[in-house]
């Protein structure tokens, strides 16, 4: 693929050359890397393509996808560029690999969740569903971008009640925004801070399993 992103890819086991398969695209949080999130979806390796991308910006101890001006205000020039690059990545992957374009899911934590939610709006029905963990939806995405319908979208949005990095109120606002635009939202809060608890992991896995089962029928 012609992409600026470093990434890791695993493909379904025992692939049939005549079939196409679901795809999960994983976007990590600030200061992490492409090895962080695959553990959350390891149970889907046999049936899905899994792409885990590394942010292009060095951010100790790892990487970031974009810089920020304030807590919920990404640096717009950087954000715009990375969002375009991510759209290109998804489109190229769908074209080059045996991916079912009706089974494309984006999962992100922190910055990755912000991007997952933004991709849903700008790519429309090219994204089937999202899992957004501890993120938010930048106001400029719905107010200034040319967005597409998300009435088809299945969204899992979760947040910790005691998140000291990204306040839980921003997660609630994301839920409300996605519902306002017609998406089907599963929203969960947990008595935790900025992270993924065992209950959170169980719930997101159940969400993905349900969506994949429905899509495969």
Residue 18: Cβ within 10 Å count: 6
CA 30 to chain centre: 14
pLDDT tens readout for residues 108-159 = 999 999 999 999 999 999 999 999 999 999 999 999 999 999 999 999 999 9
Burial class from Cβ neighbours inside 10 Å (0-12, 13-18, 19+) for residue 17 reads exposed
Which of 96, 45, 37 lies closest to 63, judged by CA? 37
Residue 25 has pLDDT above 90, yes or no: yes
What does the alpha-carbon distance between residue 74 and residue 37 come to, in Å, rounded to a whole number? 22
Q: How confident is the model at residue 214 (pLDDT cuts 50, 70, 90)?
A: low
For residue 174, give every residue at least 6 positions away whose Cβ sits within 8 Å of its Cβ, in sequence order, or none.
Answer: 117, 132, 135, 136, 137, 157
Q: How confident is the model at residue 216 (pLDDT cuts 50, 70, 90)?
A: low
> What is the value of pTM for the model shown?
0.96
**CA 187 to each of CA 148, 176, 177, 206: distance values in angstroms, whole numbers, following the listed order:** 22, 10, 12, 13
Residue 195 has pLDDT above 80, yes or no: yes
Q: Where are the alpha helices (DSSP H) in the chain?
A: 76-96, 111-123, 139-144, 168-180, 198-216
Residue 215 has pLDDT above 70, yes or no: no
Question: ω into residue 61 within 30 of 0, thus cis?
Answer: yes
For residue 33, give every residue at least 6 positions away whose Cβ sits within 8 Å of its Cβ, in sequence order, or none.
Answer: 54, 55, 62, 63
Q: How confident is the model at residue 213 (pLDDT cuts 50, 70, 90)?
A: confident
What does the alpha-carbon distance between residue 134 and residue 196 come to, in Å, rounded to a whole number? 9
What does the alpha-carbon distance between residue 169 and residue 198 come to, in Å, rounded to a whole number? 22
Confidence at residue 70, expressed as pLDDT on a 0 to 100 scale:
76
pLDDT tens readout for residues 31-86 = 999 999 999 999 999 999 999 999 999 999 999 999 998 777 899 999 999 999 99
């Amino acid at each position: 693929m012609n992409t600026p992103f470093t990434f890791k890819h695993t493909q379904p086991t025992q692939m049939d050359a005549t079939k196409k398969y679901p795809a999960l695209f994983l976007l990590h949080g600030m200061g992490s890397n492409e090895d962080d999130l695959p553990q959350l979806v390891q149970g889907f390796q046999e049936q899905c393509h899994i792409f885990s991308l590394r942010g292009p910006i060095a951010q100790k101890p790892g990487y970031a996808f974009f810089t920020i001006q304030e807590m919920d205000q990404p640096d717009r020039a950087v954000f715009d560029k990375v969002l375009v690059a991510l759209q290109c990545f998804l489109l190229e992957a769908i074209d080059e690999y045996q991916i079912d374009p009706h089974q494309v899911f984006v999962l992100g934590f922190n910055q990755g969740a912000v991007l997952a939610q933004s991709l849903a709006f700008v790519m429309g029905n090219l994204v089937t569903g999202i899992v957004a963990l501890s993120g938010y939806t930048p106001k400029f995405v719905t107010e200034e971008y040319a967005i597409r319908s998300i009435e088809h979208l299945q969204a899992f949005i979760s947040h910790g009640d005691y998140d000291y990095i990204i306040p839980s109120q921003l997660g609630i606002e994301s839920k409300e925004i996605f519902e306002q635009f017609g998406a089907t939202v599963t929203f969960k809060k947990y008595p935790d801070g900025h992270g993924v608890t065992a209950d959170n992991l169980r719930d997101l896995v159940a969400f993905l399993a349900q969506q994949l089962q429905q899509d495969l029928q």
